[in-house]
Structure 1
Amino acid sequence: MRPSRIVALGLLAALVAAGPAIAASPASPPAAARVNFVAPQSYVDGNLEWSSVDQRLTFEGLTRIFSAEARRALPPGTTIEIDILALDLAGKINPLASRTGELRVMREDTWPSLTLRYRLVRDGRTVARGEETLRAMNYLMNPRAARSGAPLRYERAMIAAWFRTRFGSSAS
Structure 2
Amino acid sequence: MQRNTKRKARLWLAAALLAAAGGAIAGVTVDYTDPEKFIDLPRSPHERDRVLKEVRDHFTKLGNDLPAGQDLKVTISDIDLAGWAEPRRWSTDDVRIMRGGADWPRIDLTYTLEQNGQVLRSGKDSLKNMMYQQRINRYTSSDPMRYEKQMIDDWFKTAITGGQVSSK
TM-score, normalisation: structure 2: 0.76
Match of 1:89 among 81, 95, 99: 81
Question: What is the identity, as a one-letter code, of the residue corresponding to 1:144?
Answer: N
Deviation (angstroms), 1:138: 0.3
Identify which range, 79-88 or 148-157, moves more after superposition.
148-157
Identify which range, 162-171 or 87-96, moves more after superposition.
162-171
Deviation digits for residues 128-163 of structure 1 (CA, Å, limit 9, x no counterpart): 110010000000112325743113111100000001
Q: Specify the alignment match of 2:27 in structure 1.
A: 32
Q: Specify the alignment match of 1:152 in structure 2.
A: 145
Deviation (angstroms), 1:126: 1.6
Aligned residues: 145
Change (3 A) 1:89 1:37: same
Pairs within 5 Å for 1:4-43: 26-27=20-21, 29-43=24-38
Match of 2:113 among 96, 115, 120: 120
User: Where in structure 1 are there 5+ consecutive unaligned residues?
Assistant: 1-23
**Structure with more helix by fraction:** 1
Question: What is the identity, as a one-letter code, of the residue corresponding to 1:38?
Answer: T
Secondary structure of residue in 2 paired with 1:139: coil
8 A contact 1:145–1:154 mirrored in 2: no
Secondary structure of residue in 1 paired with 2:112: strand
Larger radius of gyration, structure 1 or 2? Answer: 1
Question: What is the identity, as a one-letter code, of the residue corresponding to 2:36?
Answer: Q
8 A contact 2:74–2:110 mirrored in 1: yes
User: Where in structure 2 are there 5+ consecutive unaligned residues?
Assistant: 1-16
Q: Specify the alignment match of 1:12 in structure 2.
A: none
**Aligned residues: CA RMSD:** 2.3
8 A contact 1:91–1:111 mirrored in 2: yes
Are 1:170 and 2:165 counterparts?
yes
Deviation (angstroms), 1:87: 0.9
8 A contact 2:77–2:108 mirrored in 1: yes
8 A contact 1:94–1:103 mirrored in 2: yes
**Runs of 4+ with deviation above 4 angstroms:** none
Secondary structure of residue in 2 paired with 1:67: helix
CA distance, structure 1, for counterparts of residue 49 and residue 151 of structure 2: 20
Q: Specify the alignment match of 1:131 in structure 2.
A: 124
Secondary structure of residue in 2 paired with 1:150: coil
